[in-house]
Amino acid sequence: MKHIKGAGLGFRREMLQELLPTLPSEVDFWEVAPENWIPLGGAYQEQFQQASSQAPFTTHGLSLSIGSSDKLDIGFVKTVKRFLDVNNIVLYSEHLSFCSGNGHMYDLMPIPFTEDAINHVVSRIVQVQDIIERPLVLENVSYYIAPGQEMDELEFTTRILNESGCQMLLDVNNVYVNSINHKYDAKAFINGLPSDKIVYGHIAGHYDEAEDLKVDTHGADVIEPVWELLEHAYRTHGVFPTLLERDFNIPPLDNLIAEVERIKQIQEKCDVIQQPKAKGSVA
């Protein structure tokens, strides 16, 4: 199985003609939502196999609904497991949220930051990990309300990571958006995360609804404060693989690759800083 490293980009069906037959070498790894490729067949299967033979792939799911009160969809999780195994994909990432409750909601809803919710989510994560036979990777999500809050987002997130054995996808833009909307220190949030849990990251653009209200859209260029926060995350936790998310208002491929290259530049800068000095060197 190929492990991801460096800087990545989302692999989308509408981009196939531009991406194939030879994937752009500037992109180190690619990410897909497994729901968009299950079941595979015909031309799409051939194109996916053509792409996945050239570079490492990871997954970022949309419908696991790990925080839902609905019964866990065991059949779906087993299907994802087959998709991962058949395509030699190491990581299955999802959202620390829920998107179903007596039916699918087609949106990512925040899980209440409560003790009961932690116990519920941890037990479901353990179920999923037993089936997929690898750690589940969960992303911190953007949220706009926090009903029944018994603790802050940082404590809630770290408790789930530590008690379930799952890993983390650190979405830096979501930290920025939440820090503005809920008035907390974005750097302090990142500082408080366990370094050993972060396996890769996301960076994206968002929409400025107002000075004190940001909406996570993945439909714009990454802004400078978010680039700066990514660098802070690398300096705090070490350099981790990072993917550029762009889900609509998709610009030409050259524009996307320019942002992927920006990720690499920041990674290289922080990598140099973190390299141990040789014996006898002078600081």
Whether residue 283 is contained in a domain is answered as no
Question: Into how many domains does the chain fold?
Answer: 1
In CATH, what number is assigned to the domain containing residue 105? 3.20.20.150
Whether residue 280 is contained in a domain is answered as no
pLDDT computed for residue 202 by the predictor: 97
Whether residue 282 is contained in a domain is answered as no
Task: Name 270's Cβ contacts closer than 8 Å, sequence gap at least 6.
Answer: 231, 234, 235, 239
Give residue 75's domain range: 7-274
- Over residues 150-190, the pLDDT tens digits come to 999 999 999 999 999 999 999 999 999 999 888 899 999 99
Q: Is the CB of residue 61 less than 8 Å from the CB of residue 92? A: yes
Percent of the chain residues past pLDDT 90, beyond the cut: 67
First to last CA, the chain: 40
Whether residue 1 is contained in a domain is answered as no
> Whole-angstrom Cα distance, residue 112 to residue 114?
6
CA 268 to chain CA centroid, Å, is 21
pLDDT computed for residue 248 by the predictor: 79
Q: Is the pTM of this model over 0.85?
A: yes
> Whole-angstrom Cα distance, residue 160 to residue 137?
11
pLDDT computed for residue 283 by the predictor: 35
pLDDT computed for residue 277 by the predictor: 46
Q: Which candidate, 6, 24, 47, places its Cα nearest to that of 254?
A: 24
Kindly report the CA angle at 48 between 32 and 171, in degrees rounded to 5?
15
pLDDT computed for residue 85 by the predictor: 95
Burial zone of 172 (CB within 10 Å; 0-12 exposed, 13-18 middle, 19+ buried): buried
pLDDT computed for residue 184 by the predictor: 92
Q: Is the CB of residue 99 less than 8 Å from the CB of residue 68? A: yes
Q: Which candidate, 120, 199, 184, places its Cα nearest to that of 153?
A: 184
> Whole-angstrom Cα distance, residue 253 to residue 257?
6
pLDDT computed for residue 208 by the predictor: 62
| Under-50 pLDDT residues of the chain | 100-106, 277-283
- Positive or negative: CA dihedral 60, 156, 158, 216: positive
Whether residue 94 is contained in a domain is answered as yes
Q: Which candidate, 209, 154, 144, places its Cα nearest to that of 182?
A: 144
Whether residue 191 is contained in a domain is answered as yes
Q: Is the CB of residue 202 less than 8 Å from the CB of residue 139? A: yes
pLDDT computed for residue 103 by the predictor: 45
How is residue 236 written in tokens?
């705090």
